[in-house]
Amino acid sequence: MNNHRHLRWALGAIVAASLVLGWMVFRRDAVPPPAAETAGPASAASTAVPGGGPHRPSVAPQLEPPSPAATPAPVKLPAAMQAALDHNPHLAAYYRLEQKVLPTGEDRDALHAMLSDPDLLERVVNDLLAPELMYTKDVEAKRLVAVEFLGDAAAWRDNPATGKVMEAVERVIFADNISEHAPEDLAQSLAGDKAELYTQLLHRSPDRAAVVSSHAQGTHVEALLAYSKRQYDNSMTAMRTDESQPH
């Protein structure tokens, strides 16, 4: 899973670019959420700068993975991310394994066990769908890790819990959790969760992204997903063009 981390930085930049206009389209068409459902998907642009807020600046994509010979220096996490991990041991355990540059076979087995655990999948979805009344960096950071968890679970081709994973992904993306009365920063952050999760599927599992897109037709998230895909396609085209140019 770790070899996709540099891609997440690029995806974070793509999603960040889509949020402002894409969210305005989404909010215009959104249906007020029913009282019984309170969902809160994870934060898309936040992959670029964990806990950086809904208008998070993107980090320049690292297009090449670090050299296996290199010993990475310890990374000091932003306070919001550290607080999120300190208060959520289940997410901290996943994050520790996913961030390893040179995972062992035991590490990979442990990570796969987490990504296919039905109880843990349900807990992560509950983390994302918990009701929020105001935007905070700490809660956004928690949702960030939860979104990455679902993205990794969906991208793992041999996941024995794929059916439950895709059900969880759609519960997050299709949740009517963004009230028309929600503060703008919270609304953008929650919309970013949907956009990032979908964008991760586009990049790492396009056939599963296509299924989600087909299910979104006629729903309140159709416009947001369509806009996110256009931004993703345009960004990938620009990246490929740049890579093909002599330097």
Among candidates 51, 101, 58, which has minimal Cα distance to 81? 51
Residue 85 within any structural domain of the chain: yes
What pLDDT was estimated at residue 34?
A: 37
* Phi and psi torsions of 199, nearest 5°: -65, -35
Q: How confident is the model at residue 246 (pLDDT cuts 50, 70, 90)?
A: confident
Task: Please check whether residue 185 lies inside any domain of the structure.
Answer: yes
Domain-embedded: residue 132 = yes
2 pLDDT band (50/70/90 cuts)?
Answer: very low
Specify whether the CB–CB gap between 176 and 191 falls below 8 A: no
Name the pLDDT band for 74 (thresholds 50, 70, 90).
low
Task: Give a yes or no: residue 226 inside a domain.
Answer: no
Q: How confident is the model at residue 41 (pLDDT cuts 50, 70, 90)?
A: very low
Q: Is 194 helix (H, G, I), strand (E, B) or coil?
A: helix
Confidence band of 242 (pLDDT split at 50, 70, 90): confident
Mean pLDDT in residue range 194-223: 96
Q: Which amino acid appears at position 5 of this protein?
A: R
Task: Tell me if 173 sits within 8 A of 212, measured CB to CB.
Answer: yes
Residue with the bigger pLDDT between 187 and 18: it is 187
Domain holding 134, by residue range, is: 2-49+78-219
Q: Distances in Å between the alpha carbon of 26 and those of 44, 126, 214, 230, 232?
A: 15, 23, 17, 14, 17
Q: Which pLDDT value is given to residue 33?
A: 35
How many Cα atoms occupy the beta-carbon half-sphere of 153 within 13 Å?
A: 30
- Specify the DSSP class assigned to residue 150: H
For residue range 109-166, list pLDDT tens digits in order: 999 999 999 999 999 999 999 999 999 999 999 999 999 999 999 999 999 999 999 9
147 lies in some domain = yes
In a domain, 42, yes or no: yes
Three-state SS sequence of 112-124: HHHHCCHHHHHHH
Q: Where are the beta strands (DSSP E) in 58-209?
A: none
CA atoms within 13 A on the CB side of 104: 3
Domain membership of residue 57 (yes or no) is no
**Number of domains the chain is built from:** 1
**pLDDT per position as a tens digit, 156-208:** 999 999 999 999 999 999 999 999 999 999 999 999 999 999 999 999 999 99
Rounded to the nearest integer, the mean pLDDT of the chain is 80
Does residue 60 lie within any of the structural domains? no
Mention every residue, 6+ apart, whose C-beta is less than 8 A from residue 114: 93, 94, 97, 120, 149
